[in-house]
Structure formats: C-alpha cells, structure tokens
Structure 1
Amino acid sequence: MSHREACPQCGGTKFVQDHDRGELICTSCGFIVQERIVDTGPDWRAFEGEKKKHTGPPISETLHDRGISSMVGWDDSDARGKGLSPESRAKFRRLRKWDQRLENHDRSLIRALQVQKTICYNLGLPRYINERAALLYRKATKKTFRGYPAECVAVAAVYLACREFSIRRDLKEFASACGASLEKLRNAYLELAKHFPLRPPPVSPMSVMNNIAAKLGISETVKQRVLERLKTAEAVTEKEALKMISAAIYEASDRSVTQEEIARAVSLSRVSILKVVSK
C-alpha cells in the first residue's frame, strides 16, 4: 500500500492504519490521510462450518452505496479479452442503462451525505456522529418530508445525532456552518424529532459543569463550591442536569452571577432556573 510522504494538514510523516475502518491516520494531528483502503488480509472471525475471507473496508452509512456497490464496465469483452456475443452485448447495454438510472437517483442522497460529512468536519464532530446522522437521514427519506430542503434535513439529522449522544452544540452553529436559515433548520429538526424521539442516556451534572463554568467565567473558588454541591448528584436527563448546575452556580456565587447570565449560558429560560433555586 502506498503512503503519502507527508500529512497535508500538519506535514507529519508518521501514520497508523485503522484496519477496521480502512483508514490511514496521521499520528501527529489525527487527520485521515487516506480512506477506503482495501484490506487484503483474511477475516479472522470464525464461523461454524465456514471458512470466510473478506477484503475491503467495513460497510459505512456515510457512503451512498454503503461501500458495497459494483460498476458495469463499458468494455464489450470478457476477462480473457474475447468479444461478447450479440446477445450478451445487448444484455450488458441494458444493465449499463439501469446502472446509470440508479446513479442519477442517488444524486440527492450523495449531495446530502456530503453536506453531513462537511458539517461534521467543520464542527469537529466524531465519526460515529456522522454514521448515526447518515442512518437517520436514510430513514427520514423513507418518510414524508415535503417542504423541507434536503440539505436542511441532512444537517438537522447531524444535530439530532449530537443530541442523542449528549454532545451539546447550539443549533446556531449548524446554521452558520451550512449557511442555512436558522428557522428552516429548526423546523426540519422538530419534524425529525417527531419521527425519531430522543432517548438520550442519563447525564451526570459533573460532566457538563466545566463547559458552563467556562462560558460564565466564574472563579476557581466558586467552581469548587459548585463541585462540592454536585458531588452526590445522580445521573439525570440533560435538561435536569443543566437546571441543577444553574442553581448550584447561582447559590455558590452568592448571587453575583445573575439568573439571566446563567440562563443564556445554558440555553434555558430564567423561569426554569428560578423554580429550581426556590426549592
């Protein structure tokens, strides 16, 4: 396998190959230098009564054909170079025609998956978010999404995937990254959420504390007080975790940080925070 001499991102010369994903990765910056590398080694999984050997990278939802498509060639000859019979040539002409029609049908999907890949790269989101978003978009296209641009649905699927894995990002970031209207993007997301209800895993308030503290710029002393208050807090939903953090910061800072400032930092209403503080 041929490796590039230097990483195009940082200029590094040391690479590591991820055989499971078929990728060549720069060890200095983590940039994916090469994708879809064919693995010519055997599949070491053992199946009873079978001896299987596979090649190629794993199936990926981020590719329009999942990486398992085939292409009908234009050469009217067999593997030995011998010309095909008239019947076989006619048969392969029909196959090429259908192959082109299917390719044209996938253009919208190709464009949407490319948008998702670009968004994930620009926002620094992990690969599993891209995979999940691509799967959500495929499922969404099977449902009725009239009046919603394909690009907005694709980006909304990325945002929904982030919410599922409790990766906190503002929808404004996605709208800015893709150049779409925030209102259209929000409407597409709400429609997606109806078909794919969120079931996020429980979140520990301690795990999101640092991000909120950095936004508010609170001192280390206040931060230690907040951590002391949250030390025994159990894992809850993301919204409840944000409410608990907001109340803890408000009380630990001796109310020097206003409820309005905290509400803006956690993207919650002041009323929601006030209800927790008053308990």
Structure 2
Amino acid sequence: MDLNIKVMCPHCRNPVPNIIENFRDGDLICGDCGLILGDRIVDTRSEWRTFSNSDSDGGDDPSRVGAATDTLLGDINTLEATGISRKDGGTGRGKDLARTHGKLSEQKKVTTLLSNAKQISSMCERIGLTKIVTESAIQLFRSSLSNKQLSSKPDEWIMAACIYLACRQNSVSRTFKEICGLTNVPKKEIGKLYKILAQHFSKENKEQGKETTRAQATPESFIRRFAGELELENSVRSACVQVGNRVFENDILAGRSTISLVASVIYFVVCMSDTPKTAIEIAKISGCTESTLKTSYKILYQHREALIKDIKTAKGLEALPAV
C-alpha cells in the first residue's frame, strides 16, 4: 500500500476530505456531498463485540483467534494439545489415564506423524533442499500411509523414498547415493519404494481426474551443481551444459544413468580446458566409479566432432586428448 495516496472526493476537491466508511453497506461515502466513492469496503473490525472496559481486564481483540492452519498436516495439530496430566495428588490415576490415552490409535497416529514430519524437515535441511521440496516430501509421506504395500516397511525407508520423489517432482538434482548417505537406507530399497510410490500417486491422480506431471531433474541441473563443487570457470560450465544437452538430445549415452552422463560430459570438457581435473576427482564428486566414467568418455570421444562443434572456438578450449 502506498501511504502517499490520499482518498479525495472528485466532486468536492476538499484538501481535507471528510470520508465516511459505511461497513454495513460496504460503501465509502463523501461526508460533504454524499457521493459514493467505493462500494466494496471490507470490515476489518472485530467479528463480535468486546465488553471489556479497559485493557487491564484482559479483554483481547477477538477478531482473530486460533493458530494458523497447517496446510501439511491439516487439523492434526489441534489434537496434539489434548493430553492428560500425570499430576493427580499422588493417587496414580492420572498416570494410568495418561498411559491409556497415549495408547489410543488416533493419538498415537498423530504423534508419530508429527515426529516423522520433523524428521523429514531435518533431513531435507541437511542436504540444502528448499521449503517447497520439504513440504512436498511431507505431503507424499502422509499420503503414502494409505498404501497397503508400504504398511510393513520401516518409516525411514518410506521417508527416504518420499524425499527422492519430491526432488524428482520439483526438478531438484539429488542422486540415489546422496539420499542413501542422508538416510542410511540401502539404494536398492529406495529404488523399490520409489517405484511403488510413483505408481501409487499416478493411479491416485487418475482416479481424481488430475493430470500426472512427473518433472525430472535434467542433466543441466546436475552439471551446474557438480561444476560448482569442482570450482570450474563459467566458460567451462557453459560448455559442459551445451555438450550435455547435445548428448542427452541425441541419445549418445542411451541406457546409462544420468550421473554417468553428467560425469563423463564434465570430464570430456574439462580435458580441453586450461585447468583439467582428474577422473578420480570428478568421480568422487558425482558419485560414480572411475571405470564407468572412462567407459562413457570413450563413447563421447567417438562423437567428439559433433559435440564440440561451435563450442571449442567460442570458449577457447584446446584440442581434446585421445583416449
């Protein structure tokens, strides 16, 4: 809102306007001539009357009450405040009632879900994921509780798969190995649960009439992240992105993983730069083996003329060494 704007009646042109706000009819009226200046005024006052004589009586403004609703957990947070005190004067009944109340299925479900949501947020924060990805992972985990195929799986495995699926849906470049290192869940188990979750949500969207949009992390996002960790120059990064896009579009490394493609492309371009990096350094950053990197590099070397066309001269790169 621009505080320099002054509401003035166009008919009276009074420099000190007498404006009346009629909240009952929603009108903004000029008090001098009666001209209606607006007809959609929102009443921002209290929603009911306050009968407090002074502020010392403890009468707060009742226009806004209650905590903000949680879009992730819905009304589940309201159940968290319900509890039974263990202090009962030494009779022991409060302790028994609190234990019985804690064993209720609904209360246990609420407590477990809140704990898992905090755990997912903590894990996402450790690998630098954004708030959108974190919220997506929590929503996916909450929705996955209705899948009977996952009822016997540990919560840690499901959380790891939900984090990886949230990264894929939001086009965030995170590998299986990074999720494995974060959650200590085997890569094989994450892959299995990821497929189950992807099929579950795809079927759920079809039943609700929603379009299934599964965004994937492109090689470009991985290239820029790994190039940044290798501290490559901007010109080398740009050349890596261009070569990576050509390799991806022409299916030169079809059948190989995205990480193998990205690592071999970076090694392919870095070998022509002034500050080359070893295959061991690139393999360590990307998370693939040195042998896989060099095998993919040999395939790229066979297509070197098409890949570095209009790139080598533009970026000042040197000739590519032989295998």
Task: Indicate the TM-score class for this superposition, using the shorter chain for normalisation.
Answer: 0.5 to 0.7
Q: Deviations over 1:170-209 (max 9, x none)?
A: 333433333444443443334323434672267483x544
Partner of residue 7, structure 1: none
In the alignment, is the contact (CA less than 8 A) between 2:219 and 2:245 conserved in 1? yes
Q: CA deviation at 1:246?
A: 4.0
Matches of residues 44-123 of structure 1 in structure 2 within 5 Å? 55-61=66-72, 63=73, 65-67=75-77, 69=79, 100-123=104-127
Secondary structure of the 2:68 match is coil
Partner of residue 142, structure 1: 146
Alpha-carbon separation, structure 2, partners of 1:60 and 1:185:
27
Closer/same/farther in 2, CA of residues 267 and 233 from structure 1, 3 Å limit: closer
Is 1:131 aligned to 2:131, yes or no? no
TM-score, scaled relative to structure 1: 0.52
Alpha-carbon separation, structure 2, partners of 1:140 and 1:253:
46
Is 1:200 aligned to 2:176, yes or no? no
Q: CA deviation at 1:261?
A: 6.2
Alpha-carbon separation, structure 2, partners of 1:240 and 1:126:
22
In the alignment, is the contact (CA less than 8 A) between 2:137 and 2:166 conserved in 1? yes
In structure 1, list runs of 5 or more residues that go unmatched. Answer: 1-45, 76-95
Q: CA deviation at 1:127?
A: 1.9
In structure 2, list runs of 5 or more residues that go unmatched. Answer: 1-41, 48-62, 86-99, 203-212, 250-256, 304-323
Alpha-carbon separation, structure 1, partners of 2:77 and 2:243:
47
Is 1:227 aligned to 2:238, yes or no? yes
Q: CA deviation at 1:157?
A: 0.5
Closer/same/farther in 2, CA of residues 133 and 176 from structure 1, 3 Å limit: same
Closer/same/farther in 2, CA of residues 230 and 109 from structure 1, 3 Å limit: closer
Alpha-carbon separation, structure 2, partners of 1:66 and 1:275:
54
Q: Deviations over 1:133-156 (max 9, x none)?
A: 111112211112144212210122
The one-letter amino acid paired with 1:59 is D
Q: Alpha carbon RMSD of aligned pairs, Å?
A: 4.7
Alpha-carbon separation, structure 1, partners of 2:235 and 2:142:
45
Pick 1 or 2: higher relative contact order, CA cutoff 8 A, min separation 6.
1
The one-letter amino acid paired with 2:121 is K
The one-letter amino acid paired with 1:184 is E
Secondary structure of the 2:172 match is coil
Q: CA deviation at 1:128?
A: 1.6
Alpha-carbon separation, structure 2, partners of 1:148 and 1:171:
18
Closer/same/farther in 2, CA of residues 162 and 226 from structure 1, 3 Å limit: closer
Q: Deviations over 1:210-265 (max 9, x none)?
A: 422244565x3xx524525746987989x779847843651452396577765664
The one-letter amino acid paired with 1:250 is F
The one-letter amino acid paired with 2:302 is S
Is 1:164 aligned to 2:204, yes or no? no
Secondary structure of the 2:116 match is helix
Partner of residue 250, structure 1: 268
2:196 aligns with one of 186, 191, 203: 191
The one-letter amino acid paired with 1:56 is A
Alpha-carbon separation, structure 1, partners of 2:299 and 2:222:
20
Closer/same/farther in 2, CA of residues 273 and 147 from structure 1, 3 Å limit: farther
Closer/same/farther in 2, CA of residues 107 and 181 from structure 1, 3 Å limit: farther
Alpha-carbon separation, structure 2, partners of 1:214 and 1:261:
13
Secondary structure of the 1:254 match is coil
Closer/same/farther in 2, CA of residues 174 and 247 from structure 1, 3 Å limit: closer
Secondary structure of the 1:106 match is helix
In the alignment, is the contact (CA less than 8 A) between 2:240 and 2:265 conserved in 1? no
Aligned residues: 206
